[in-house]
Amino acid sequence: MNRIDQVFQGNKKLLSIYFSAGHPNLEDTLPILRALQSSGVDMVEIGLPFSDPLADGPTIQKSSTKALKNGMTTEKLFQQLENVRDEITIPMVLMGYFNPMMQFGIERFCQNCKAIGIDGLIIPDLPVDIYHERYKNLFEQHGLYNMFLITPQTPEVRIRYIDEVSNGFIYMVSSASVTGAKNTFGDPQINYFNRIGEMQLKTPQVVGFGISNAATYQAATKHSRGAIIGSAFIKFLEKEGIDNIPKFVSSIR
């Protein structure tokens, strides 16, 4: 069973943390993973830095740029993660854009992911229909789930199509904007969470974009199985450092 499926068993509300590989320092990837796992995080999303991250807000863009300047590449990340499963047992998802994966070679990319124990991918610029037609079989051959994003503007027919072809979870974007931390959710977001909940989708939903504190985490998980924190964690990491990661996690739940 895929580790993502395992973590969704039971009724626990999940906490997933996103960080950019190679940031703040090139060799921080494994220390961050260790600290997140020991702090009780349920799942991690490792960002593959890209020079043109369309869905990312300024904080993640800045961290991605810094990681690239530090020397992070797809090849380097795979090298860093080569023996990661000797100590990291929680689900690991790579989040990145399709261009670097194509440059690396899609089949080779999937082979590397399988070899090191990556459980799934989030590729914001890979449309679900293209994935379904061209890549789903390849991904599944290598044990990789591919998670798709929905927004408040995504039509119901599209959401149900995503639900039909999805494994793992659906990434429920909290608003029609780029990533970035917010202090609270307004009525439009709450209504959106309720609407998706009423659709009774088969695939669990996890909320991302705008989760920054205990209040937004609780609001997001009231209508979903979990929440993803990215920008707020990256800001904390830059200010407080890896040693204080348990402090960040405990402040959320």
Which residues are catalytic, by number?
45, 56
Burial class from Cβ neighbours inside 10 Å (0-12, 13-18, 19+) for residue 171 reads buried
| 70 DSSP 8-state letter | H
Between CA 45 and CA 201 the distance in angstroms is: 23
The size of the chain, in residues, is 253
R_g (Cα) of the chain, nearest Å = 17
Omega of the bond prior to 24 within 30 degrees of 0, cis?
A: yes
* Structure tokens belonging to residue 31: 């220390």
Instruction: Find out whether 178 and 210 touch, Cβ atoms under 8 Å.
Output: no
